[in-house]
Amino acid sequence: MTFLRGERALWALVLAFTVTMIGTTMPTPLYTHYQAELGFSLSTSTVIFAVYAMGVLAALLVTGRWSDAVGRRPLLLGGLAFALASDLVFLVADATWILLLGRVLSGISAGVFVGTATAAVVEAAPERRRAWAPVAATAANIGGLGLGPLLAGLLVDLGPWTLHLTFVVHAVLTLVAVVLVCGVPETVERVPGARLSLQKPEVPASIRQAFVAAGIAGFAGFAVTGLLTAVSPRLVAEVLDDPSALVQDSVIVLALLVSVVAQVVLRGVSTTTGVTLGCALLALGSLVLVAGLWTESYAVLLASALFIGPGQGLSFGKGLASLLERVQPHQRAGVSSAFFIVGYVAISLPVIGAGVAAQEWGLEAAAESFGLGVAALSLLALVALVVEQRRTRETATA
């Protein structure tokens, strides 16, 4: 029975979206505690983070179009069920393989939720809120990712049960989100007899060159964000003397929250300007990150987040928008899927590589090399974007 309509339904969906994404990054402050208790290596901790991205990819490929056929609410409730299952697994985790399982379940919850919830938020918005609905969906998505380590860091610093309280709190929030989703009306009509199928990535020939340019930028942004999420607490711990859990997470939290602010403030900027600015900020932020590691300055590390966050948000968000505006409506789901695949591959594989490199060279040296690589990728994306923009202008005037 639905009991939430209009703006209440909209904000209920935004809250459920935020809660789900909070759960995907809440384990970040706990990795060092798990490592001390279970005795796994730094490279293993990056693998634990990266399997989350694999869960997201699997869910995107399998369930990407299901909500069009069976409705938004069943998929949203399914995503919340996976989020709750992840919390329960973490509550009993006493071995590395159990942590891996918890992260996979968390990734599946995000993969099921992210596309469906974005569509549901836009569809549920009353007419007077329609222009703000995509912004609200973005804020729930990226903002939730940033709030996860922030909330977990506070609970670790101030509460009991270091390895358990975080997941108890999130399980309660998830149950509240289940009630809210049950209370909102369905936003699409179910298709009788529709067959569930895989979400096939699709890049039309007409945009392949543009896709490469935008994909390089998106890859760089997700790669550096993934690295910060996986290892920035350790980087801060090596720069400062015995920092709190909240301080250890401060770099990635700041990067993600500033990413949301930048996307809201610059929502009216054109896609061309936005993605170009995003690449420039990514390159600059990556170099500032390297400088912070060289100088062992916490202030400089924080400053890098002020560039990396907006760089990631603009390069990915505006990059995807620039592709979707060039294709037909029936091609958008496939193009979006392909672009998200690039992003989540960027989260997983480079982060694993950085973890392996850290075993050989040390964490700071590996992070410095990674930062320089992201800066180079961002500059390569800038060149590719300039070439593509010139080609587009020449085609238009021919």
Per-residue DSSP letters for 24-92?
Answer: HHTTGGGHHHHHHHH---HHHHHHHHHHHHHHHHHHHHHHTTHHHHH-HHHHHHHHHHHHHHHHHHHHT
Q: CA 198, CA 60: separation in Å to the nearest integer?
A: 9
In terms of domains, do 181 and 240 share one? no
Q: CA 162, CA 153: separation in Å to the nearest integer?
A: 10
In terms of domains, do 8 and 117 share one? yes
* Cα R_g (the chain), whole angstroms: 20
In terms of domains, do 93 and 237 share one? no
Buried b (16+ CB within 10 A) or exposed e, 29-49: bbbbebbeeeebebbbbbbbb
pLDDT, residue 194, reads 63
328, pLDDT greater than 80: no
pLDDT category of residue 245 using cuts at 50, 70 and 90: confident
- Environment class of residue 328 by beta-carbon count within 10 Å: exposed (0-12), middle (13-18) or buried (19+)? exposed
In terms of domains, do 310 and 166 share one? no
In terms of domains, do 136 and 24 share one? yes
In terms of domains, do 259 and 162 share one? no
250-265 and 133-158 are packed helices; what angle lies between their axes, rounded to 10 degrees? Answer: 160
106, pLDDT greater than 90: yes
Of the candidates 161, 187, 213, which is a domain's last residue?
187
In terms of domains, do 139 and 209 share one? no
Read off the CATH number of the domain in which 30 is found. Answer: 1.20.1250.20
In terms of domains, do 214 and 107 share one? no
133, pLDDT greater than 90: no
Percent of the chain whose predicted confidence (pLDDT) is above 90? 26
Question: Is the residue at 196 inside a domain?
Answer: no
Question: Is the residue at 5 inside a domain?
Answer: yes
In terms of domains, do 36 and 161 share one? yes
Average pLDDT of the residues of the chain? 84
Question: Is the residue at 192 inside a domain?
Answer: no
Q: CA 394, CA 398: separation in Å to the nearest integer?
A: 6
pLDDT, residue 193, reads 64
The total number of structural domains that make up the chain: 2
Contact 352, 46 (CB under 8 A): yes
State the residue range of the domain holding 176: 1-187
Separation in Å, CA 105 to CA 59, 183, 233, 317, 365: 10, 25, 23, 25, 32
332, pLDDT greater than 70: no
In terms of domains, do 209 and 332 share one? yes
Q: Regarding predicted confidence, which is higher, 396 or 63?
A: 63
In terms of domains, do 116 and 63 share one? yes
In terms of domains, do 255 and 178 share one? no
Question: Is the residue at 195 inside a domain?
Answer: no
Question: Is the residue at 198 inside a domain?
Answer: no
pTM: 0.81
